[in-house]
Structure formats: C-alpha cells, structure tokens
C-alpha cells in the first residue's frame, strides 16, 4: 500500500502539464485505474482484511485527488507567473495626459470676497459696464464740472448728437445707486466687477476690477465700517483682524466723512508681510455715504445712513498671493495662468478657508 501511494504521488509530482495530470488521474483513479482495480479486490477479502484495506484505499483515493488538484493549481500559478513576467512594462513612461485647467486669480478672489461678505449678510449686485453719466457721476455727487471727473481718466463712448456721452464706468459705485433704487433700505450689498480708466503704466491698466460695498440702515456708523473691514481683511488675508487697519481722513465726493484705509505691514528684508510691523499700506477708500448719494438712490438721508467702501480686486489678489505685475493679469500668458491660477475644485468657502 505504501508503495502504491509513493509511486502515484511521485508520478503526480512529475506531471508537467494538464494532459500529463489527466493521464496520471486516469491510470490511478480512472475506472480501470490501479486504485479502482484495487477497490474491486476488496470484495474478495475477508471482512477483517476489508476493514483495514477499505478505509486505507479510500484515504489514498482522496489524497491522490487532492494532490492532482494541487498539482494542477501549481501548474496554473507557474504559467500565470511566467505570463506576468513576460508582461513587464517600463512604469516610468509618462502617464496618460489629463487636461488641466485653471481659474483666474480675479475670479478666485472675487469668490473669496463674496464668501466673506455673504457671511456678514451682504448680497452681490451687478450693473452695466457702459454707464450713463448720471449713474457714474451726478448720482455720486460728482457734478459735471467737478475736477475729479477729469482726474478719473474716464473713457467716453462716441456720443450721438444731443446727449452727453456714455462712459465706461470708472468705478463700481454706480451699482450702489442701482441697488438702492432697486431694493431700498435697509441694504447690504457688494458689487464686484470690471472698471475702466484711461491709464497704462507699470501699476495701472486701462481695465481693472473693483469691489464696492454698501450697508444702509438706521444707525450704521463709521465704527461699524471699520469693524466690517477689519473682519474682512482678517479673514481674507488670514491674519489677526484686531489693530490691522488704520483710518485716515480723505475725500471722496460720494462719502462724508471719508477715509483712506491702510493695512498694517512690514517690509523687513524686502518682503511685504501684512499684519505685522509698523508700516502702513494704503488698501482701500471708504466713508459714510453722502446724503446726496442716498437721495439719488431714492433713500431718505434723514431716516437712513450707511457706509460705502471700494477696493481693487486685482490689488488685493496681488497682495495676498504675491503677484508682482498688474499688467500680466490681462495678458493671458499660459505660464502665468498656470502659476497664479487655481484648481477648479478649490471653491472658496469660510469653513474650508478662503
């Protein structure tokens, strides 16, 4: 019996392919196989003999079946391994290209600004970029002869006879007027968008972006304005808001009192750092809305008051992201767009950070 087992296990181990395995199986376990023949002999045995030989034969049969299956699996594994070895690829070859797009800093920063002001209850208003002279100037307390009209480097459209030429809006402030006329008071809006001035040099482009903000209510004060701007700048630049801003008296026709707003900064080592040091950098203009502007917006200045501010979106983008040259914003150089642009998935939000 031991001899039988040893022989067949040996043959199974030597079987080199599926066919050889099948051949061994037939010769050992097939109907006329050696084990089967031995099983047939059981009938001729004494009961005592049979009691010993029967289970032994059955055990042998099971063992050989298992060995056959194991051998077959081993052969398949070996074949697979050989195939996989054949299938070697140079994994350092470049991956398949995925197109990669980007969001312009102006769009990204506009969304950042919107997210922050939305949290303080400001909606977003928009308006036309070609404006009539009333919305761009008169309604903002800039009469037609005012010298600041000249200083604004206004772009005029060719005028048909008989009326003053329309302008490319020189600021987003006309949207203040339109929102007040549309919504009345109380009101909290920001108005981002393109504005135009006839100026082109190192730091000026004939088109740039502003965001205007207004809040009108019964008792809004300039102190509220300062808080609002501090909160904004703190959140936007991701620095401590307390003591970040400095107001200083100035003049805008549409606000009274008016203030230029400076942000604390340091130029140590030639690098600009916001929120530290003792230097100040002018960042925006603001003030309490002029009674005449409220009136032009259809709001009674005896009942309501409000603040307004305006800042350059491109400018705060440059400050936050360290972008050196304003002109490059509008040149659409792919290298620049890639470097300063943002992933389409990086949607600004307050909970994830702007």
Centre a 10 Å sphere on the Cβ of residue 109 and count the other Cβ atoms it contains: 25
Output the known binding site: 256
Q: Which of residues 202-231 bind another protein (CB under 8 A)?
A: 206-207, 215, 219-224, 226-230
Q: Which of residues 319-338 bind another protein (CB under 8 A)?
A: 329-334, 337-338
Q: Which is nearer to another protein, 33 or 285 (CB)?
A: 285
Output the known binding site for Mg(2+): 256
Token pair listed for 45: 């045995």
Q: Which is nearer to another protein, 8 or 236 (CB)?
A: 236
Cβ atoms of 261 and 284 within 8 Å: the answer is: yes
Q: Which is nearer to another protein, 53 or 124 (CB)?
A: 124
Binding mask 164-193 for another protein (x = CB under 8 A): -xx-x-------------------------
Q: Which of residues 86-125 bind another protein (CB under 8 A)?
A: 93-94, 96-104, 106-107, 111, 114, 118-124
Q: Minimum distance between the CB of residue 298 and another protein, rounded to whole angstroms? A: 18
How far is it, in rounded angstroms, from Cα 255 to Cα 9? Answer: 102
Asked if residue 265 binds another protein (CB under 8 A), the reply is: no
Cβ atoms of 138 and 145 within 8 Å: the answer is: no
Among 173, 179, 210, 258, binds another protein (CB under 8 A): 258
Q: Minimum distance between the CB of residue 17 and another protein, rounded to whole angstroms? A: 37
Binding mask 282-321 for another protein (x = CB under 8 A): ------x-xx-------------x----------------
Q: Which of residues 120-139 bind another protein (CB under 8 A)?
A: 120-124, 126, 128-132, 135
Asked if residue 198 binds another protein (CB under 8 A), the reply is: yes
Q: Which is nearer to another protein, 8 or 304 (CB)?
A: 304
Size of the site for another protein (CB under 8 A): 91
Q: Minimum distance between the CB of residue 334 and another protein, rounded to whole angstroms? A: 5
| Cα Rg of the chain, angstroms | 42
Q: What is the separation of C-alpha 166 from the centre of its chain, rounded to a whole number of angstroms?
A: 38
Among 146, 181, 279, 312, binds another protein (CB under 8 A): 146
For helices 2-14 and 47-86, angle between their N-to-C axes, nearest 10 degrees: 10
Q: Which is nearer to another protein, 19 or 332 (CB)?
A: 332
Q: Minimum distance between the CB of residue 47 and another protein, rounded to whole angstroms? A: 60
How far is it, in rounded angstroms, from Cα 189 to Cα 215? Answer: 7
Binding mask 230-249 for another protein (x = CB under 8 A): x---------------xxxx
Q: Which is nearer to another protein, 3 or 90 (CB)?
A: 90
How far is it, in rounded angstroms, from Cα 231 to Cα 241? Answer: 6
Using alpha carbons, list the distances in angstroms from residue 75 to 17, 22, 70, 85, 86: 7, 13, 9, 15, 17
Residue by residue, DSSP assigns 15-56 as --SHHHHHHHHHHHHSTTSHHHHHHHHGGGS-HHHHHHHHHH
Angle at 129 between CA 300 and CA 331, to 5 degrees: 140
Centre a 10 Å sphere on the Cβ of residue 16 and count the other Cβ atoms it contains: 9
Centre a 10 Å sphere on the Cβ of residue 13 and count the other Cβ atoms it contains: 12
Among 1, 42, 70, 159, binds another protein (CB under 8 A): 159
- 3-state DSSP assignment of residue 287: strand
In the DSSP assignment, the letter for residue 300 is -
């Amino acid at each position: 019996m031991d001899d039988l087992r040893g022989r067949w296990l040996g043959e199974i181990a030597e079987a080199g392919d599926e066919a050889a395995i099948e051949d061994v199986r037939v010769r050992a376990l097939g109907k006329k196989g050696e084990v089967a023949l031995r099983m047939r002999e059981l009938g001729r045995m004494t009961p005592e003999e049979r009691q010993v030989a029967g289970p032994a034969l059955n055990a042998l049969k099971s063992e050989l079946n298992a060995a056959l299956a194991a051998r077959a699996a081993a052969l398949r594994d070996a074949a697979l391994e050989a195939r996989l070895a054949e299938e070697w690829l140079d994994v350092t070859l470049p991956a398949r290209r995925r197109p990669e797009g980007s969001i312009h800093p102006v769009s990204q920063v506009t969304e950042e600004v919107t997210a922050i002001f939305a949290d303080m209850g400001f909606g977003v208003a928009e308006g036309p970029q070609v404006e009539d002279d009333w919305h761009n100037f008169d309604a903002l307390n800039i009469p037609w002869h005012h010298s600041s009209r000249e200083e604004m480097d206004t772009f005029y459209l060719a005028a048909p006879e008989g009326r003053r030429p329309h302008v490319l809006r020189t600021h987003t402030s006309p949207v203040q007027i339109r929102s007040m006329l549309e919504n009345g008071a109380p009101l909290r809006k920001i108005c981002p968008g393109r504005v135009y001035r006839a100026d082109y040099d190192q730091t000026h482009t004939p088109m740039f972006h502003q965001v205007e903000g207004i809040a009108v209510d019964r008792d809004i004060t300039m102190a509220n304005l300062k808080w609002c701007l501090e909160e904004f700048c703190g959140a936007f630049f991701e620095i401590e808001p307390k003591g970040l801003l400095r107001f200083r008296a100035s003049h805008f026709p549409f606000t009274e009192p008016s203030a230029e707003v400076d942000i604390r900064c340091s130029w140590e080592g030639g690098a600009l750092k916001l929120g530290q040091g003792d230097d100040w950098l002018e960042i925006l203009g603001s003030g309490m809305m002029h009674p005449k502007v409220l009136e032009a917006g259809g709001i009674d200045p005896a009942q309501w008051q409000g603040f307004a501010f305006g800042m350059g979106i491109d400018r705060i983008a440059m400050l936050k992201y360290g972008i050196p040259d304003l002109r490059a914003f509008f040149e659409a150089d792919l290298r620049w767009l890639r470097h300063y642009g943002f992933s389409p998935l990086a949607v600004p939000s307050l909970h994830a950070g702007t």
